[in-house]
Amino acid sequence: MYQVLYRKWRPQKFNDVSGQPQVTQTLKNEVKNGRINHAYLFTGSRGTGKTTCAKILSKAVNCLNPQNGEPCCECEICRGIDDGSILDVVEMDAASNRGIDDIRGVIDEAQFTPAKAKYRVYIIDEVHMLTDQAFNALLKTLEEPPEHVIFILATTEVHKLPSTILSRCQRFDFNRISPEYICERLKYVAKNENASIDDDAAMMISAISDGAMRDALSLMDRCLGISANITTDVVRNCAGLAQKDYLFELSTACINKNTSKAIEVLSELHKESKDMARLCDELLEHFRSLMMIKCTSKPKNYIIMSEDEFEQAQTQADYLTLGEIVYIMDILQNTYQRMGKGNSNKTELEMALVKLSSPELEGTNEALTARISALEKALKSKSAINTVEIKEKTVEPKQEKSDKKAIEQTETKLTEDKKESAPPSVPKIPKIEEQSPPQKSAVEEEKTVQTVQKINLEEIYNNAKPFRQWPEVVDNIKKYSKGIAAAFSNTNAYESGNYLLIDSESEIPFRLLKEGSQRANIRTAIQEITGKVYKLGPYKKPEKEEEKKDPLDDLINSLKENSVNFTEE
């Protein structure tokens, strides 16, 4: 009969247990030094190794040939405990044996000496399920058990245990297993099962399992049923997860306030039978990652993403304020809580996306706070982003006076230097000076240059023609950054000479154009498609000038109308 992976690869020694050194090292030292306690309490979340360590401890205290606190796993006792033939080690489930009669049976059996082993060990799993009467019956035996009895209690909800039980046990807290330990274990199991698993797939499984090794191995077992080569696509299909591309697409639509795009993506996911509640939870986790990027200096310690996904997430986090991210998370959290209680889950998620892409519909304090923070950000970072047009400098009167004064001082100094440096022996020859045109001041020259630049800019906009290769360029940008490609996905481009002008309703593309490294990647992607190097900037639709009417034409038209009327009469 096939044995599932989490049972087949259950650790047999303390050294095989992953991610719980604070527990395994202490238990090894106690066994090694003979300081064995009569009652242990193992607490922690599911799948972290509580029952596994309890079984290893039961073997270690009864092993005939212990090795540095570890069981040998080869003697008669170790093998008997593993196959269940040794009846001195009893494992019971308190969820199904929770009454006082069940505990009285344990107390009565504990009085007898072990049949083969050195200690009679009782492993009581989910001990918090025992009734109050059962706990009270167990108290005396738990406090002063016979010398040959050891109790090992395991629970996921330690807060439900009476304080009288807690005070009688030596407590060990099991932590959630870190993703690194889970990935290492998954690779080890895959190698021994003649399979392979990608690093990204192992990291994805560890993220889904949420620190539980048993859940990770169970999911890996399902993946092996599909393919011996486990990739991220295989994991997504087994776990029923949405592609990360859809998550980034949905979040980008909310950031850009593009309601129709958000609803369109959601409808596509619904057609693919994606679970709406799970999708909402994934969106919430996605924005939680953006919050960690925004709040912490080392966000990779708190989120699990590939390098490519992390780059896209950073791009989105740079555009949002912390108040906006918290507001989005609050909307998604409330939506997730309402799912299953009223309308369909799809309707609930659609309402959430409409609220996120149309913040004016929400009148709560959180929505107003998010909108105020967005306005503050827009004021701090200049709202008008223009890469092509050179900004005009307005010179204040005080500044103009100071500039004139500086110019005069410089001219005076230059004249004095010329006089000092001129050789005295050279005779001065009188020349007829030609009348040169009056020189313009520095301010006037600057205004003239700006006027010419404005005229050239208007000509650039007027001569702009649609750039047909732009979709191909956006697709080519993906190999440099999927985040940049997503930002430019809903844009158009126009070509005017050496200029390539971007037309977008969102400010995200123009923010990217301001960054030197991102602009270089975009320019390189364009050059690879077109073979030309363009200057990049925003597109501005040319304003149609009203045709100037000649007053004489109006007079002629009015006379013609009057003559027609006179003829008819």
Sorted by where each starts, the structural domains of the chain and their CATH numbers stand as: 5-174 (3.40.50.300), 179-239 (1.10.8.60), 244-380 (1.20.272.10), 446-538 (3.30.300)
Question: Do residues 174 and 23 touch, judged by C-beta distance below 8 A?
Answer: yes
CA 307, 313, 314 angle in degrees (round to 5)?
90
Q: Please name which of 290, 300, 297 lies closest in space to residue 321, comparing C-alpha atoms.
A: 290
**What is residue 546's predicted lDDT score, i.e. its pLDDT?**
45
3-state helix, strand, coil in the chain (%, to 5): 60, 10, 35
The string of pLDDT tens digits covering residues 46-95 is 889 999 999 999 999 999 898 888 999 889 999 998 888 888 899 988 88
Q: Which residue has the tokens 């995200």?
A: 508
Indicate whether this model's pTM tops 0.75. no
Question: Do residues 230 and 201 touch, judged by C-beta distance below 8 A?
Answer: yes
pLDDT greater than 60 at residue 427: no
At 448, the pLDDT band (50, 70, 90 cuts) reads: very low
The string of pLDDT tens digits covering residues 94-127 is 888 888 888 888 888 888 888 888 999 999 999 9
**What is residue 524's predicted lDDT score, i.e. its pLDDT?**
83
pLDDT greater than 50 at residue 434: no
Give first-to-last CA distance, the chain, whole Å.
111
- Find the mean pLDDT for residues 132-137: 90
Query: Residue 174: phi, psi to the nearest 5?
Result: -95, 125
Instruction: Give the three-state DSSP class for 39.
Output: strand
**What is residue 227's predicted lDDT score, i.e. its pLDDT?**
87
Question: Do residues 472 and 529 touch, judged by C-beta distance below 8 A?
Answer: yes
The string of pLDDT tens digits covering residues 163-187 is 999 999 999 999 988 888 899 999 9
**What is residue 367's predicted lDDT score, i.e. its pLDDT?**
57
The string of pLDDT tens digits covering residues 456-474 is 667 777 777 888 788 888 8
Least confident piece of the model among 29-38, 275-284, 444-453:
444-453
At 389, the pLDDT band (50, 70, 90 cuts) reads: very low
- Find the mean pLDDT for residues 261-268: 90
Query: What DSSP character marks residue 45?
Result: S
Instruction: Give the three-state DSSP class for 331.
Output: helix
Give the per-residue SS3 of 345-387.
HHHHHHHHHHHHHCHHHCCCHHHHHHHHHHHHHHHHCCCCCCC
Question: Do residues 207 and 182 touch, judged by C-beta distance below 8 A?
Answer: no
Alpha-carbon gap, residue 290 to 313, rounded angstroms? 6
**What is residue 383's predicted lDDT score, i.e. its pLDDT?**
46
The string of pLDDT tens digits covering residues 289-314 is 999 998 888 887 777 677 778 888 88
Q: How far is CA 547 from CA 357, 498, 516, in A?
A: 41, 30, 42
Q: How far is CA 502 from CA 72, 222, 388, 433, 455, in A?
A: 70, 47, 11, 53, 20
Alpha-carbon gap, residue 428 to 298, rounded angstroms? 74
